[in-house]
């Protein structure tokens, strides 16, 4: 059991979301940075679908009510267990009564706390992820509040080495000068003017403060269409870059509506959407054109890397954890 | 003529729209969605309005194979009749529950009472479920009530608000932003994630609104 010691409307329980509930109108949801959550679960030997805490508001504090291995991954910033600094992307065992504090990150903006055994809230529509709009999943369908006590599952492995261990190769964060995300052209790409298509790729975009789990509004050279389009509502996925009539793009994020009606110029590829999720407000964003073959190659390479890392950590646990 | 386009690495959008909404095309979309939804390589086949989004696992599935599957499913799909359920939705119109009723009436050139009567007279069909959990895009709205959506969406429209927008009818299943116009309120819960069948409305349902005094 862990107890939350800080209020925020932005910190929620997340897992891999509900990709099979889209026909009900339910957002895919889940962690905005799936790789960071996956790495935390991997360090702990959790199932990949175990739920953790996505933190987007700092400082964040939680107290362990029993001895429990945990990991902190994602955005880089000060992380302390009872005042003692922890290395980045690290997993270690907390003792009952200890307090974990995550302060505002210096790089990236979403931190994930994962717990051995996962956070054991009920499955709703196949996942534990919080759906804030629908008001279900997570803890009572809402953000975490001070005093919330979260039950944890039974750990699948004996835990982590006595002094902890961490990722040697960290999850990539956005480049300092600009977040570069690869995109595939979407259905209405050719309906934009040549100037707009040029500006989309050749100019920088700024992330406005209207950026949450539902969508990120960007600002830059307005993108014009050759003629106004009136589209019927159609299914959209996280990563879709819509362009409403005013010409400023909106990127659909994890909690995006499952259907929309605005023209779509492009879709950020699955492997890169987490980089946008880790981009801070006012940050600069550049779209890089890619091909479907390259996008799939990136996705598969990432999955292979993750599988290799999971094997390596399982091996380390066998070597370093006393039986 | 259908158009297929990429929706990222793991999804393909089939667009079958040709001009105004077509009911026969929509029935064919449902049939193709049903066929594709059962295919092992498909994660979800999500009907939109005269279009269909197909998601798949790009780690293990080649997009070209999914494209071929979609084309085959579309070619084989007939505009099937779904055994339609008849569903009634009770509505309290106007007043505090329908703040846009006057605006819709003005646009339609009708009195508020005649606007309500036009909404009540419709026999609606659930074309697609989406946007929000349990939100049904209903066709069959009296064209006079087809007020364009608000230029700026409201940041919050109450759960159970009865709305019209872009020539369609709907009911809010949760409190969420919306650019549609509010004409009334129902008491029916439209989505409950804990029910075996979470959505109150299903694709193909025939819907009638009834008036609560």
Report whether A287 contacts A181 (CB < 8 A). yes
Residues 6+ apart with CB under 8 A from A64: A2, A70, A94, A95, A96, A97, A98, A99, A100
pLDDT in tens, chain A (323 residues): 999 999 888 999 999 999 999 999 999 999 999 999 999 999 999 999 999 999 999 999 999 999 999 999 999 999 999 999 999 999 999 999 999 999 999 999 999 999 999 999 999 999 999 999 999 999 999 999 999 999 999 988 778 988 899 999 889 999 999 999 999 999 999 999 999 999 999 999 999 999 999 999 999 999 999 988 888 999 999 999 999 888 999 999 999 999 998 999 999 999 999 999 999 999 999 999 999 999 999 999 999 999 999 999 999 998 888 76
Give the residue range(s) of CATH 3.30.1360.40 domains in chain B. Answer: 3-76
Q: Which fold has domain B3-76?
A: Gyrase A; domain 2 (3.30.1360)
CA distances, B182 to each of B102, B104, B110, B185 (Å):
10, 9, 16, 8
Q: How many CA within 13 A on the CB side of residue B41?
A: 16
In chain A, residues with a C-beta closer than 8 Å to the C-beta of B176 are 133
Among A234, A268, A299, beta carbon nearest to B59: A299
Residues 165-204 of B with CB under 8 A from A: 166, 173-174, 176, 191, 193-194, 198-199
The residue extents of the domains of chain A are 2-171+303-320, 179-290
Minimum distance, in Å, between the CA of residue A108 and any CA atom of chain B: 24
In chain B, residues with a C-beta closer than 8 Å to the C-beta of A292 are 6, 9, 63
Q: How many CA within 13 A on the CB side of residue B23?
A: 10
Contact with chain A for residue B6, Cβ under 8 A: yes
Q: What is the pLDDT of residue A122?
A: 97
Between β-strands B176-178 and B124-129, what pairing exists: parallel, antiparallel or unpaired?
Answer: unpaired
The total number of residues shown for chain B amounts to 213
Residue with tokens 């039986």: A323
Contact with chain A for residue B79, Cβ under 8 A: no
Phi, psi angle pair for B110, to nearest 5°: -125, 165
Phi, psi angle pair for B13, to nearest 5°: -105, 125
- Alpha-carbon distance of B107 to B148, in angstroms, equals 10
Give the chain A residue whose CA is nearest to the CA of B50. Answer: A232
In A204-298, which ranges are E strands?
Answer: 205-211, 215-219, 234-235, 240-242, 250-252, 259-260, 264-268, 284-289
Distance linking the first and last C-alpha atoms of chain B: 47
CA angle A23, B62, B32 (to 5 degrees): 40
Distance linking the first and last C-alpha atoms of chain A: 24
What would the two tokens of residue B111 be?
């009195």
Give the residue range(s) of CATH 2.40.100.10 domains in chain B. Answer: 86-211
Report whether B173 contacts B159 (CB < 8 A). yes
User: What is the mean pLDDT, run by run of 10 residues, along chain B of 213 residues?
Assistant: 94 94 94 95 96 96 96 90 88 95 96 97 96 95 90 87 93 92 96 94 96 87
Give the chain B residue whose CA is nearest to the CA of A295. Answer: B9
Contact with chain A for residue B153, Cβ under 8 A: no
- Alpha-carbon distance of B205 to B188, in angstroms, equals 16
Q: Do B7 and A236 lie within an 8 Å CB cutoff?
A: yes
Q: Is the dihedral of CA A269, A270, A271, A275 positive or negative?
A: positive
Q: Do B46 and A23 lie within an 8 Å CB cutoff?
A: yes
Cα–Cα nearest to A191, from A95, A262, A119:
A262
Among B7, B45, B59, beta carbon nearest to A186: B7
Q: Do A269 and B9 lie within an 8 Å CB cutoff?
A: yes
What would the two tokens of residue B137 be?
């895009």
- Alpha-carbon distance of B102 to B183, in angstroms, equals 8
DSSP state of A279: P
Q: Do B9 and A296 lie within an 8 Å CB cutoff?
A: yes
Q: Which fold has domain B86-211?
A: Cyclophilin (2.40.100)
How far is Cα of residue A291 from the mean position of the Cα atoms in its chain? 24
In B39-193, which ranges are E strands?
Answer: 42-47, 51-56, 86-93, 124-129, 136-139, 154-157, 161-165, 168-171, 176-178, 181-186
Quote the longest CA-to-CA distance of chain A. Answer: 69
Q: Please give the ipTM for the structure prediction.
A: 0.94
Contact with chain A for residue B15, Cβ under 8 A: yes
Residue with tokens 């992380």: A79
Q: Do B51 and A232 lie within an 8 Å CB cutoff?
A: yes
Phi, psi angle pair for A217, to nearest 5°: -90, 130
Q: What is the pLDDT of residue B144?
A: 95
SS3 annotation, A142-196: ECCCCCCEECECCCCCCCCCCCCEECCCCCCCCCCCCEEEEEEECCCHHHECHHH
Q: Do A270 and B58 lie within an 8 Å CB cutoff?
A: yes
Minimum distance, in Å, between the CA of residue A317 and any CA atom of chain B: 28
Q: What is the pLDDT of residue A323?
A: 66
Instruction: Note the helical H segments in chain A.
Output: 34-44, 194-202, 270-277, 292-320
Indicate the class that CATH gives domain A179-290: mainly beta
Q: Do A187 and B58 lie within an 8 Å CB cutoff?
A: no
What would the two tokens of residue B197 be?
């069948």
């Amino acid at each position: 059991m862990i107890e939350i010691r800080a209020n925020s409307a932005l910190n929620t329980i997340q897992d891999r979301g509900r990709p099979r509930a889209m026909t009900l109108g339910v957002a895919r949801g889940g962690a905005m940075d799936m790789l960071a959550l996956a790495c935390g679960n991997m360090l702990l030997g959790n199932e990949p679908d175990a739920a953790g805490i996505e933190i987007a508001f700092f400082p964040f504090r939680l107290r362990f009510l029993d001895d429990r291995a945990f990991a902190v991954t994602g955005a880089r910033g000060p992380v302390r267990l009872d005042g003692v600094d922890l290395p980045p992307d690290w997993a270690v065992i907390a003792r009952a009564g200890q307090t974990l504090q995550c302060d505002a990150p210096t790089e990236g903006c979403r931190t994930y706390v994962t717990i051995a055994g996962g956070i054991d809230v009920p499955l709703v529509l196949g996942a534990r992820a919080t759906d804030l709009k629908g008001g279900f999943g997570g803890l009572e369908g809402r953000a975490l509040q001070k005093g919330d006590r979260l039950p944890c599952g039974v750990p699948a492995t004996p835990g982590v080495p006595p002094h902890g261990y961490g990722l040697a190769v960290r999850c990539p964060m956005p480049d300092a000068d600009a977040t570069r995300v690869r995109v595939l052209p979407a259905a209405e790409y050719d309906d934009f003017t040549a100037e707009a298509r040029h500006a989309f790729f050749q100019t920088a975009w700024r992330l406005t403060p209207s950026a949450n789990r539902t969508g990120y509004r960007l600002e830059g050279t307005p993108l014009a269409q050759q003629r106004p389009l009136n589209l019927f509502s159609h299914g959209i996925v996280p990563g879709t870059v819509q362009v409403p009539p005013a010409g400023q793009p909106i990127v659909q994020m994890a909690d995006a509506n499952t259907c929309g009606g605005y023209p779509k110029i492009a879709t950020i590829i699955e492997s890169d959407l987490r980089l946008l999720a880790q981009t801070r407000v006012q940050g600069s964003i550049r779209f890089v054109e890619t091909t479907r073959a390259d996008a799939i190659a990136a996705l598969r390479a990432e999955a292979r890397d993750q599988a290799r890392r999971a094997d390596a950590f399982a091996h380390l646990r066998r070597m370093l954890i006393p039986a | 003529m259908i158009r297929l386009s990429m929706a990222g690495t793991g999804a393909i959008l089939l667009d079958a729209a040709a001009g105004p909404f077509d009911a026969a095309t929509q029935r064919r979309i449902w049939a193709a969605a049903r066929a594709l939804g059962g295919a092992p390589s498909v994660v979800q086949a999500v009907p939109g309005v005269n279009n269909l989004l197909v998601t798949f696992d790009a780690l293990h599935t080649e997009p070209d194979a999914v494209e071929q599957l979609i084309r085959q499913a579309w070619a084989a799909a007939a505009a099937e009749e779904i055994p339609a359920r008849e569903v009634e939705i009770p509505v309290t119109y106007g007043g505090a529950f329908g703040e846009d009723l006057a605006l819709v009436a003005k646009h339609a050139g009708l009195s508020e009472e005649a606007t309500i009567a036009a909404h009540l007279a419709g026999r609606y069909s659930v074309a697609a479920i989406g946007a929000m959990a349990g939100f049904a895009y209903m066709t069959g709205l009296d064209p006079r009530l087809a007020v364009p959506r608000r230029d700026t969406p409201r940041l919050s429209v109450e759960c159970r608000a009865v709305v019209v927008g872009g020539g369609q009818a709907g009911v809010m299943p949760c409190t969420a932003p919306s650019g549609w116009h509010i004409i009334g309120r129902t008491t029916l819960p439209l989505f409950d994630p804990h029910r075996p069948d979470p959505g109150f409305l299903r694709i193909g349902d025939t819907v009638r609104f009834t008036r609560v005094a």
